[in-house]
Amino acid sequence: MRATPAPDLMLEPAYDPAGSGRDPIGTSTLANKGLNVRHGTILTLEDINVSFDGFKALTNLTLYIGVGELRCIIGPNGAGKTTMMDVITGKTRPDNGVAYFGETLDLTKMSEVQIAQSGIGRMSVFENLELAQKTNKSVWASLRAKLTGEQQDRIDEVLQTIKLDSSRSRPAGLLSHGQKQFLEIGMLLVQDPQLLLLDEPVAGMTDAETEFTAELFKSLARKHSLMVVEHDMGFVGSIADHVTVLHQGSVLAEGSLEQVQNDERVIEVYLGR
């Protein structure tokens, strides 16, 4: 496991945005896409509150993601993890609080479409159900669907990245569950998002697919920022630099996986069950 910065530094960016890591899908121009990330923070959430009919799903949630960071979010069922992603993507409006993408884009004032176009891509297990029904559309056509001409050059690279190159002509509906997940990730990648939100990406995957997903996410970090919600602690352990534990709509703990695993409060509400 990597050395971890002191806790008070953890809210700062984890990586140099111009880092020299390999760029598997040709996204090296990302830093020039116009998002202002001057202070190295790609996502700012401060004092976010969300309530549903009086039930508080998020309570003064404050969390920062650095440019190029791979952040894992864990926490018990109902902790507010998916709701947090809904706030980031504009699906759910917070009652109050601050949500910024980069320095200048106020997510609370943007539509879901504007947020997606600005460079935040989201994948959730549920979208798979939709994909599974598109049995006639090929893998290649699925990737191509949302693209303009010049972006289509990216398809071959993305197909290799998600290991579906040899399945490009297969109907997407015939892919294995894990391959559908990879195709979903590929559909995000062709759009070149700077921030990827992944909600339980390895749910239902085989061990081999889970291992590949870990490698894939590690290869995407630095050039992209990733926020990964996952209950599979083995998977979290294999990718995590930083882990944030949510509980009852707030951050309970933050640090390396080892640090949060040894936190008595985390053991009590989540890991120790």
Ligand X SMILES: Nc1ncnc2c1ncn2[C@@H]1O[C@H](COP(=O)(O)OP(=O)(O)OP(=O)(O)O)[C@@H](O)[C@H]1O
Query: Which parts of this chain interact with Mg ion (CB under 5 A)?
Result: 81-82
Given candidates 13, 68, 72, 81, which one binds ligand X under the rule CB under 6 A? Answer: 81
The residue (of 4 and 59) whose beta carbon lies closer to ligand X is 59
CA atoms within 13 A of residue 125's CA, in its CB half-sphere: 13
Instruction: Give 271's contacts (C-beta < 8 A, 6+ positions apart).
Output: 233, 261
User: Which of 195, 79, 176, 198 minimizes the C-alpha distance to 127?
Assistant: 198
Scored b (16 or more CB within 10 A) or e, 91-117 reads ebebeebebbbbeebebeebeeeebbe
Q: How far is the CB of 89 from ligand X (least distance, A)?
A: 13
269 lines the binding site for ligand X (CB under 6 A): no
Q: How many residues bind ligand X (CB under 6 A)?
A: 11
Which listed option, ligand X, Mg ion, none, makes contact with residue 79 (CB within 5 to 8 Å by class)? ligand X
**Angle formed at CA 99 by CA 44 and CA 92, multiple of 5 degrees:** 135
Name residues contacting ligand X, limited to 234-253 (CB under 6 A).
Answer: none
Contact 46, 97 (CB under 8 A): yes
The residue (of 72 and 143) whose beta carbon lies closer to ligand X is 72
77 lines the binding site for ligand X (CB under 6 A): yes
Question: What is the spatial distance between Cα 32 and Cα 156, in angstroms, rounded to a whole number?
Answer: 23
Which listed option, Mg ion, ligand X, none, makes contact with residue 52 (CB within 5 to 8 Å by class)? ligand X
Question: What is the spatial distance between Cα 138 and Cα 125, in angstroms, rounded to a whole number?
Answer: 20
Given candidates 27, 41, 82, 194, which one binds ligand X under the rule CB under 6 A? Answer: 82
The residue (of 87 and 116) whose beta carbon lies closer to ligand X is 87
Given candidates 27, 41, 44, 83, which one binds ligand X under the rule CB under 6 A? Answer: 83
The DSSP secondary structure of 210-255, one letter per residue, reads: HHHHHHHHHHHBTTBEEEEE-S-HHHHHHH-SEEEEEETTEEEEEE
Given candidates 13, 80, 90, 186, which one binds ligand X under the rule CB under 6 A? Answer: 80
Name residues contacting ligand X, limited to 21-60 (CB under 6 A).
Answer: 52, 55, 57
User: Which of 38, 80, 36 minimizes the C-alpha distance to 62?
Assistant: 80
Q: How far is the CB of 269 from ligand X (least distance, A)?
A: 12
Residue 40 per-residue DSSP state: S
The residue (of 37 and 239) whose beta carbon lies closer to ligand X is 239
Question: What is the spatial distance between Cα 87 and Cα 52, in angstroms, rounded to a whole number?
Answer: 13
Q: How far is the CB of 133 from Mg ion (least distance, A)?
A: 22
Which listed option, Mg ion, ligand X, none, makes contact with residue 78 (CB within 5 to 8 Å by class)? ligand X
Q: How far is the CB of 153 from ligand X (least distance, A)?
A: 36
Q: How far is the CB of 173 from ligand X (least distance, A)?
A: 26
Q: How far is the CB of 83 from Mg ion (least distance, A)?
A: 8
78 lines the binding site for ligand X (CB under 6 A): yes
Residue 138 per-residue DSSP state: B
Q: Is the dihedral of CA 182, 83, 103, 40 positive or negative?
A: negative
Footprint of ligand X (CB under 6 A): 52, 55, 57, 75, 77-83
